[in-house]
Amino acid sequence: MILKAQVDYKKVLEFNPNDIGTLINIANVYRELKMPNKGIESLKKIIKIDPSFIGPYINLGFAYLQLDSLDLSIKYFDEALKIDPKEALVYSNRGNVYYKLKNYSAALKDINYSISLYPSNSFAYRNLALVYIATNKMSEACETLKFADYYGFEERYGDEVKILRAKHCK
């Protein structure tokens, strides 16, 4: 199915190489196919077409996070926040990058701000719990994991929160 989508999107791009919707969709297909550089190429092309569109900056931040290119990830999340300084998901994702960099104070600031903007974001609570675990604040981590569960983390993202609760919350 995903390969058929790739073929279809390539055909559309042959006809209209600057179709932003198709470029976004094919970038997602490349991510699924574990071809991140092709996806990054498509996202950067969108920025050249429309530098005011926030979507490719967010997707590039996430792509570089997955590739552990953390400085580039922060760069693109920062660019997204220049376009929309109230985009809650960007703060949560950038906070996750700061967590990976062990900059826990910056991570806490970003993730808590994200939650203030979007209080039902289960992924932000998961990110926050990881920071608490890393800083050995287990009661805060366990309470935060409860919120991640409550807001449907497992239905959307899998059983990571359940595993974290079993491991850290006795």
Each residue of 101-155: pLDDT tens digit?
999 999 999 999 999 999 999 999 999 999 999 999 999 999 999 999 999 999 9
Residue type, 143: E
DSSP conformational letter for 69: -
Phi, psi at 135, each rounded to 5° = -100, 15
Phi, psi at 158, each rounded to 5° = 110, -170
Please report the pLDDT score of residue 141 as a whole number.
98
Please report the pLDDT score of residue 147 as a whole number.
98
- Mean pLDDT of the 84-101 span: 97
pTM: 0.89
Q: Which of 76, 92, 75, 81 is nearest to 27 (CA)?
A: 76
Please report the pLDDT score of residue 69 as a whole number.
96
Please report the pLDDT score of residue 6 as a whole number.
74
Each residue of 17-73: pLDDT tens digit?
888 988 888 888 888 888 888 899 999 999 999 999 999 999 999 899 989 999 999
Q: Is the Cβ–Cβ distance between 23 and 42 less than 8 Å? A: yes
d(CA 124, CA 31): 22
End-to-end CA distance of the chain: 43
Quick one: which H or E segment has residue 93? helix 88-100
CA 158 to chain CA centroid, nearest Å: 15
CA 165 to chain CA centroid, nearest Å: 22
